[in-house]
A and B are shown apart, each in its own frame.
Chain A
Amino acid sequence: ETGVTQTPRHLVMGMTNKKSLKCEQHLGHNAMYWYKQSAKKPLELMFVYSLEERVENNSVPSRFSPECPNSSHLFLHLHTLQPEDSALYLCASSQERTVPGKNIQYFGAGTRLSVL
């Protein structure tokens, strides 16, 4: 148990559906992250939030829309996805984003997304 909980664990959606992934951290951290893990590709950082403000968006298509209503919760809203978006989506949190010694990231178990 890492203190980072992701729901749902598995999701199958059609290309016209709208769904949301949820991440909750119980560690009192100030920074949260979304990563995408595709088969045979390194983990890709998608978004970074620090104190509920988005500080990084790594050229992610607009069909992925993050939301961070408070420092404990992070959402990833999905709409009109493509089959190539099928992947494991991992959420992580860290005490601080850039402070050495306080930026170890702790990960959730991920949401396995399949887009049909």
Chain B
Amino acid sequence: AQKVTQAQTEISVVEKEDVTLDCVYETRDTTYYLFWYKQPPSGELVFLIRRNSFDEQNEISGRYSWNFQKSTSSFNFTITASQVVDSAVYFCALSEASHGNKLVFGAGTILRVKS
């Protein structure tokens, strides 16, 4: 069964702090994809990253980095030196090849970055 758990409902940090958003997933497939989306107050979900299940390399993009660990079924997202503009709701999502690659979203984590 597909399931995505984002246990952190809300996180508050002060600007320039590093913050990690947790994502744990459940799947029986060997072929699957993991995503992160950002939803700022304006409403649209902004695509950040997609990883496939065969690529466990961590990825860094500017202040963003992602840690994919199949052993713990986790795909965590770290923002380094957070900024006020990072304040948003962040969603982790999973799609499985056996389910037509349909996206299943976690409940989201609200990140508040204070100046």
> What is A's interface to B at a CB cutoff of 8 Å?
2, 4, 9, 40-43, 45, 48, 56, 88, 90, 92, 97-100, 103-110, 112
Least CB distance from B110 to A in Å reads: 11
Q: Are A45 and B101 in contact (CB under 8 A)?
A: no
Interface residues on B, range: 20 to 34
Q: Kindly identify which residue among B35, B102, B107 contacts A42, using a CB–CB cutoff of 8 Å.
A: B107
Q: Chain A contacts of B33 at CB under 8 A?
A: 100
Q: Chain B contacts of A42 at CB under 8 A?
A: 105-108
Q: Are A106 and B47 in contact (CB under 8 A)?
A: yes
Given A90-B44, A104-B35, 15 further pairs, Cβ under 8 A: A42-B106, A43-B91, A45-B102, A48-B102, A90-B45, A99-B101, A100-B101, A103-B95, A104-B50, A105-B103, A106-B47, A107-B44, A107-B45, A108-B44, A109-B43
Q: Does B7 contact A (CB under 8 A)?
A: no
10 contacts between A and B (CB under 8 A): A42-B107, A42-B108, A43-B91, A45-B103, A48-B102, A103-B95, A104-B35, A107-B46, A109-B44, A110-B44
Q: Does B67 contact A (CB under 8 A)?
A: no
Q: Does B52 contact A (CB under 8 A)?
A: yes
Q: Are B106 and A109 in contact (CB under 8 A)?
A: no
Q: Does B57 contact A (CB under 8 A)?
A: no
